[in-house]
Amino acid sequence: MEDVRVVTKLVPNGLAASSHNAVSRAKESGPLDAWRAVSRTRPVLERAELLQKQKDKAEVWRLSGRPRGDCVIAKRCRLVEADREELVYSSVLPRIGMATGQYLGRVDAGDGRTAWLFVKELLGVPYDAEEQLHRDLAAAWLSALHAAAREAPAVTELPDVGPPRYRPMLEDLVRTLAQASLNEELGRSDLEVIDQAASCCHEVLELWPRIERAVRRLPQTLVHGSFSRRNMVVIPTSGQPVLGVFDWGAAGCGVPARDLLKLVDPKIAGSVAIYWRRFPELAPSDQDLLVAVGRLVRAVEHMSWVAPGRHHPSVEEPMRRLAAHGAQLVAARDVLLRLV
């Protein structure tokens, strides 16, 4: 886009618009060319609409034909993420009866780093946490996924997303906090937040072996990893509506703590009592342990994201977020001290 802006300063408006359109067409041809490489006898798709693109994130397109009928979602992502999603779509979900989106194939992007994945678009209404039906569907779907995937062999081929994944992240966070405490631009209140967060991180690290031993008795299953409103729709049917969930790029194998915590988040507000029905063997203390571990790993993850922000000239927002996530870490630590 920077090249286009330079051109607009040097050429007449008509030529600048032509150059911009050429760049847009070139970008749109990427997913369309990739689709042609895998579609073969499938319907010809001629239009590409960019739905999502963020720096260092996947880009997502909607591909459609004329007249517009069923659409295809094209996602370009890192190879490791593509491997993960392909395994879930092709080898896990169909075998446990949880497939809602039709997987249509994959092709490498040719850069040695990324690949294109294609799935049929799920048509439905956006998830609304204010709707009781939506909340019940979310809890029932997540419970069914975690219960059914416990026996799916392919799940063990996914990366471990349990507590062992987060320990290196926590250790790196401790080092980052120690470095941030040397920043002379921070005020006394900022340094207090950092000191409190660092102290809690050290305590959690000492507690970590006990946490890992405790979760071994909990269910090991398929974890979605990004169970959120933006990755789900409610699909109307002739009977009961069903929940459609997509974007498995963060999926893995482990205790379902991270997914479960999303379920109790106000943005989803799922009916947790419905979730536990498929896990009658779990005592209330085990249920509390799952939620606490979910709160712990989310706090560690989010604190790791905002920690580098303290080196930015404007530290107010990163420090506010660090304090909020630090409070969640303290709450999780207090529960885990009692349970493990």
Interval 309-330: pLDDT, tens: 555 556 778 888 889 999 999 9
Tell me how far apart the alpha carbons of residues 265 and 250 are, in angstroms, rounded to a whole number: 18
pTM: 0.84
pLDDT at position 119 over 90? yes
Helix (H) or strand (E) holding 73: strand 72-78
- Please, is 153 exposed, middle or buried when counting C-beta atoms within 10 Å of its C-beta (0-12, 13-18, 19+)? exposed
Residue 187, pLDDT score? 82
pLDDT at position 143 over 80? yes
Q: Look at residues 286, 279, 326, 320 and name the one whose alpha carbon lies nearest to residue 303.
A: 326
Poorest-confidence range of 33-42, 56-65, 81-90? 33-42
- Asked whether the beta carbons of 259 and 223 are under 8 A apart, the reply is yes
Q: Amino acid letter at 285?
A: S
Residue 181, pLDDT score? 83
Residue 101, pLDDT score? 76
Q: Beta strands of 178-326 (E only): which ranges?
A: 221-223, 232-235, 242-245, 252-254
pLDDT at position 4 over 70? no
Interval 77-87: pLDDT, tens: 999 999 999 99
Residue 255, pLDDT score? 95
Residue that is written with structure tokens 């409070």 in the block: 327
- ∠ CA 111-57-170 to the nearest 5 degrees? 115
Residue 46, pLDDT score? 82
Q: What is the mean pLDDT of residues 80-97?
A: 93
Q: What is the share, in percent, of the chain residues with pLDDT greater than 90? A: 62
Neighbours of 329 (CB within 10 A): 25
Residue predicted with more confidence, 14 or 222: 222
Helix (H) or strand (E) holding 182: none
Interval 238-255: pLDDT, tens: 888 999 999 999 999 999
At 238 the three-state DSSP class reads coil
pLDDT at position 142 over 90? yes
Local confidence band at 44 (pLDDT 50, 70, 90 cut-offs): confident
DSSP states of 152-165 as a string?
Answer: -GGGGGSPB-SHHH
Residue 198, pLDDT score? 93
Neighbours of 173 (CB within 10 A): 24
State the Rg of the chain over Cα. Answer: 23
Helix (H) or strand (E) holding 306: helix 284-306
Local confidence band at 308 (pLDDT 50, 70, 90 cut-offs): low
Q: What is the share, in percent, of the chain residues with pLDDT greater than 70? A: 87
232-235 β-sheet, strand order: 125-126, 232-235, 242-245
- Please, is 188 exposed, middle or buried when counting C-beta atoms within 10 Å of its C-beta (0-12, 13-18, 19+)? exposed
Residue 82, pLDDT score? 95
